[in-house]
Structure 1
Amino acid sequence: MEYKKQHFIPQSYLGSWCDSYIPEGYDKYVWMFNYNGEIVKRKNPKNIFYESDLYTIFDNEEKRILDIEHGLSGLEGKFALIRDNKLALKQDLTVEDKNYILAFVAAIHNRTAATREHLSRQWGQILDLGKLIKQEYENASSEKKKAIETIGSLNKGDDSFSLDDVEKFHNEPMQTLMVPRINAEFNCYTKMHMSILNTDDEVGFITSDDPCVWFDPESFKRPPMYRSVGLGNKKVEVTLPISPKQAIFISHTPLPLYISVNMQTLDSINRKTRFSADKYFIVNRNYKKDFWFKVIEPPSDII
């Protein structure tokens, strides 16, 4: 069936990590490590990180609507051209170029299987609560029902959801929530600053099945309930490796467009990429580094 196999990490993106020393007669491949680095396999990018109909919308007649898949594919193509023809050559970027890059970062962050599972769990909890409240109401006495009805809606705006809406968010988060989330994230990125980090190291940047990382180096200083990372945090850093030689870096700090990084910075970014992976990380050769697995504890007086 056409377009049934839908990649949540694009082949055009993963292709940058194909080993450059592939024996004659072999298909191109990347080195795919499991999360703990204990198992490694050679894999063609077309054969990993996909699911059937991940973004397909089915109408009431079970007709397949592929608008999201086609939209993502178009964005992938635009980004690949900019990456290969401008970023790799350290060329200046137009406003349109930057917007495509930021949109690609937002899309990668929101289109993965890990994000799908997170959203499904999140809305599943809300769904369970809604069902419980509904059951309590249906089983209540007429007097108690009247008391409940006098409360009215707690939502004074127009952005309210029915229980059916919540159930759809839980069952189909990619089809219902992904595009609005991409748009919202893109709008945040346009108010931040973007740089391209560069390295000449042979291994360079690694990537993963969930490669866009949000990191706030100041979060551990906040009380536990305020430690979640958001784009409004002034110290937040967003990284997305785009090849072994380059990674996108977005923050609230104005920096040059192209920045060369030392080995310490490269190791730090690779460590965060590996820790943020869902199940697998990708390297352009059969290589792993102990530092990528190192757990660094915050100062004891902060916890």
Structure 2
Amino acid sequence: MAVRVEGARRRAAAAVRGRSPVQVAGPPVFVLVWSSGFVAGAIGVDAAPPLLLMFARFAVAGVALAAFAALVRAPWPRGRALRHVMVAGLLVQAVQFGALYTALGMGLPAGIVALVQGLNPVVIALLAARTLGESVTGRQWAGFGLGAAGVVLAVADRVAFSAVGVVLCAVGLAGLSVGTVYQKRFAADMDVRTGTAVQFLAAAPVIGVVSLVAETPRVTDWGVFGGALAWMVLVNSIGAFLLLNTLLRRSLASRVSTVFFLTPSVTALMAWGLLGQGLDPLAVAGLVLGGAGVLLAARA
């Protein structure tokens, strides 16, 4: 038994030594960066309609990243690869953020929106097991179950408050989960600079048309709008998605997705400190369960 334990320790140590700095530092940095996007979004939708805000975010981020990619002469996807990258971008960008930020615009708290998105690891694990052949251990499934229970508990008293908002969160969750697995299967080798730029540029016109049809495009406070947009472009769009796409290139989709279990707790703390959004006891209990779920899944 002692020999087995020592062998396991050596294999674990070797695995850790073999991980790149991005794989080690990337997940915690990603959690902070991704969580801040919900707070920036909650601020931005007070100054402009949510879809208009998303259109501006995608357009500015796409043009900026495309210019950078052209400057460094990064390879662009072509043909079938280009189509796959665009489909992934429409799912992960347009569907996910169009739905989530509309829910924020309807008054759903940032912590609750992030908590529904926290089910992403469960959905991705189910999809990845069937389409990518990724294995999931029993302990990971137990962690996923705890995380899912935390989400259900946290939104239980919010459904009556905004049933449409909760449904929109579910649509956003589907866009992120399906898009992540699609990208891992069909566009895993894309260059993260040009591929991310293509995703933004594919999502921008779709969201722009929907904004013109469904909203009255206007900005009530240009200072707030500009500040929120700058943060979402530089930090949440370019920074977060370059990091996410890099992690997806180097790790299993189900493993990368476990970091989303942590974003609800971090988002709730940010929203409490910066926006003054309180959390009721059920939401706090849900956050605790979600945290326990990610710890269990990560240890597995």
Bigger CA radius of gyration: 1
Higher relative contact order (CA 8 A, sep 6+): 2
Q: Which has the higher strand share?
A: 1
